């Protein structure tokens, strides 16, 4: 029925992730994109960060992604034709019991999208191409969208609409939301997918020349193409000439001074630095995710990663409202939790850009300076969220162990599986950590809460750091919702009720 459907506008990584997460939970989804054909442009080529790899582990597509990309790419820095340094970011980041993915995956964005589209087809949903959202109105009960497609104009009614339509978002503009921040019109880069002759395709080549400009040349895994970025000097009248193969070749010649030849361009563009975000992710039944809500520098490789994680946060909440009858106030927690992450992303990407600049000026490095433990995004948390309940007395904020709102770590189990195996899927998970939790887990299990998987562990996983037997509720998006004592089945039941109607209960 129309009132039980969601319209997703935009089929980049954010929109595709959201459409899949909703569809696997039984929510009818329509996802549209204005493109007539799916792009083969690399665009955001740089990488999938470890936290997003955990999302894709939950989706069951990690093997497909790893096959299409690489986790080892040397950064080779030159000054003119002289090799200055070579480093491999995250090379020492071996897997740990709590975090099996600690290296970035270098993969073309179009490959990520193709794999996500295939996953979406497996659950019976296809992206509708050549279809544009031209406007919408909403009431207390529905959103009416006006769509332009190959067969003409259509008006369709949906329960909710989510704008995942990028930095120029039609949805955001129609909502009238301010995209606060700034645009730097002094630094422009030509960017394109081209073939390269004159360099072996075993590294990401980088020139940070304070006099001649910036040049980055990255081979694209599984392809003959490279993504090349080069400083775009302004014309005498102050304008930037349009992107072309000749303009990119000029940047290569001017900055590298090496006999490198470009050919066969399949995508050309010009980029400038934007740092912007909205103050609201929701207006009634219309929501925003990904670049439609926040854009920032590429330093730190956080862009598409943050969008996918927006979708992962929103998907289970929207499904509970649409399909399971949860109160709409649950959607308020999407904004409550993700707006601070958007602010963090802007700050962190700017700080990464500053670190790169300092390394370049000091002659100590290049792009690798922007990749840190923080940009892996494993430390992000929702501790201040109304959905994070810490009911175990453990000495406050600095008490031992994982807190409510923290990312739920992985850990090996005694039967040879991992906690991530238990989390994988659209359910919420109750973990009884220690033999003392057995009776409480059984009491909760006897209630038969839909969508809750109960697991009675004999051990307390070391990665959680608890000194007493503890009950832990792990949300569908892999964050800890509740931490409480071993016998507190009532606290678990109260928390699960709260997820259905966050407006109805006060306190924790």
Ordered alpha helix ranges (H), 242-283: 245-256
Domain boundary among 273, 298, 322: 273
Indicate if 25 and 131 belong to the same structural domain. Answer: yes
Q: In the 8-state DSSP scheme, what is residue 141?
A: S
CA of 174: how far to CAs of 78, 287, 290, in Å? 46, 12, 17
- Give the model's pLDDT for residue 41: 77
Residue 507 has pLDDT above 50, yes or no: no
Structural domain boundaries, residue 193? 182-273
80-91 tens-digit pLDDT: 999 999 999 899
Residue 396 has pLDDT above 60, yes or no: no
- Residue 121 inside a domain? The answer is yes
Indicate if 287 and 266 belong to the same structural domain. Answer: no
Here the CATH number for the domain that contains residue 490 is 3.40.30.120
Domain boundary among 273, 305, 330: 273
- Residue 299 inside a domain? The answer is yes
Q: Please return the burial class of 345, using the count of CB atoms within 10 Å of its CB with bins 0-12, 13-18 and 19+.
A: buried
Indicate if 481 and 493 belong to the same structural domain. Answer: yes
- Give the model's pLDDT for residue 397: 65
Nearest CA among 378, 304, 323 for reference residue 100: 378
- Give the model's pLDDT for residue 246: 95
Nearest CA among 369, 406, 391, 398 for reference residue 483: 391
Average the pLDDT over 352-374 and give the result: 84
Q: Would you give the end-to-end CA distance of the chain in angstroms?
A: 36
Residue 1 has pLDDT above 80, yes or no: no
Indicate if 408 and 494 belong to the same structural domain. Answer: yes
- Give the model's pLDDT for residue 299: 75
Mean pLDDT score of the chain: 92
pTM score > 0.85 for this model? yes
Give the Cα separation of 15 and 290 in Å (integer): 8
Q: What angle do CA 351, 354, 360 make, to 5 degrees?
A: 145
Indicate if 463 and 432 belong to the same structural domain. Answer: yes
Q: Label each residue of 104-138 as H, E or C.
A: CEECCHHHHHHHHHHHHHHCCCCEECCCEEEEEEE
Residue 508 has pLDDT above 50, yes or no: no
Domain boundary among 217, 251, 273: 273
Give the phi and the psi of residue 29 in degrees, each rounded to 5: -125, 140
- Residue 158 inside a domain? The answer is yes
Please state the domain count of the chain.
3
For strand 470-474 and strand 480-485, is the pairing parallel, antiparallel, or unpaired?
antiparallel
């Amino acid at each position: 029925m129309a009132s039980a459907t969601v319209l997703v506008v935009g089929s980049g990584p954010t929109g595709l992730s959201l459409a899949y997460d909703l569809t696997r939970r039984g929510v009818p989804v329509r996802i549209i994109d204005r493109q007539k054909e799916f792009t083969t442009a690399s665009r955001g080529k740089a990488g999938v960060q470890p936290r997003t790899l955990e999302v894709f582990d939950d989706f069951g597509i990690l093997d497909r992604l790893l096959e299409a990309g690489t986790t080892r790419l040397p950064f080779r820095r030159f000054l003119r034709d002289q090799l200055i340094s070579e480093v491999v970011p995250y090379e020492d980041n071996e897997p740990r019991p709590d975090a099996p993915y600690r290296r970035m995956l270098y993969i073309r964005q179009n490959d990520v999208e193709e794999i996500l589209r295939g996953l979406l087809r497996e659950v019976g949903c296809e992206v509708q191409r050549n279809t544009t959202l031209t406007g919408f109105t909403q009431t207390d009960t529905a959103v009416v969208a006006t769509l332009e497609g190959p067969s003409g104009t259509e008006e369709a009614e949906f329960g909710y609409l989510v704008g995942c339509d990028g930095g120029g978002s039609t949805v955001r503009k129609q909502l009238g939301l301010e995209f606060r921040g700034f645009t730097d019109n002094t630094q422009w880069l030509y960017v394109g997918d081209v073939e390269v002759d004159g360099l072996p395709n075993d590294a990401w080549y980088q020139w940070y020349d304070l006099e001649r400009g910036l040049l980055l040349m990255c081979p694209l895994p599984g392809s003959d193409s490279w993504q090349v970025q080069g400083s775009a000097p302004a014309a005498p009248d102050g304008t930037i000439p349009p992107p072309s193969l000749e303009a990119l070749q000029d940047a290569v010649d001017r900055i590298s001074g090496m006999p490198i030849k470009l050919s066969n361009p399949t995508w050309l563009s010009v980029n400038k630095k934007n740092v912007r975000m909205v103050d609201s992710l929701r207006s009634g039944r219309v929501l925003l995710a990904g670049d439609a809500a926040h854009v920032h520098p590429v330093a730190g490789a956080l862009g598409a990663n943050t969008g996918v994680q927006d979708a992962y946060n929103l998907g289970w909440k929207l499904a509970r409202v649409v399909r399971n009858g949860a109160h709409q106030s649950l959607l308020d927690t999407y904004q409550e939790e993700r707006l601070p992450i958007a602010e963090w992303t802007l700050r962190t990407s700017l700080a990464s850009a500053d670190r790169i600049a300092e390394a370049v000026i000091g002659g100590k490095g290049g792009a690798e300076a922007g990749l840190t433990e923080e940009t892996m995004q494993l430390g992000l948390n929702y501790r201040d969220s109304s959905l994070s309940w810490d009911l175990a007395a453990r000495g406050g904020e600095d008490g031992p162990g994982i807190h409510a709102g923290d990312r739920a770590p992985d850990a090996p189990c005694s039967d040879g599986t991992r906690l991530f195996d238990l989390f994988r899927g659209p359910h919420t998970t109750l973990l009884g950590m220690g033999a003392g939790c057995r009776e409480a887990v059984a009491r909760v299990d006897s209630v038969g809460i839909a969508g809750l998987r109960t697991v009675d562990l004999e051990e307390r996983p070391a990665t959680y750091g608890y000194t007493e037997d503890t009950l832990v509720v792990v949300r569908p998006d892999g964050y800890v919702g509740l931490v409480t004592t071993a016998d507190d089945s009532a606290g678990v039941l109260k928390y699960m009720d709260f997820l259905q109607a966050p407006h109805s209960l006060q306190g924790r």
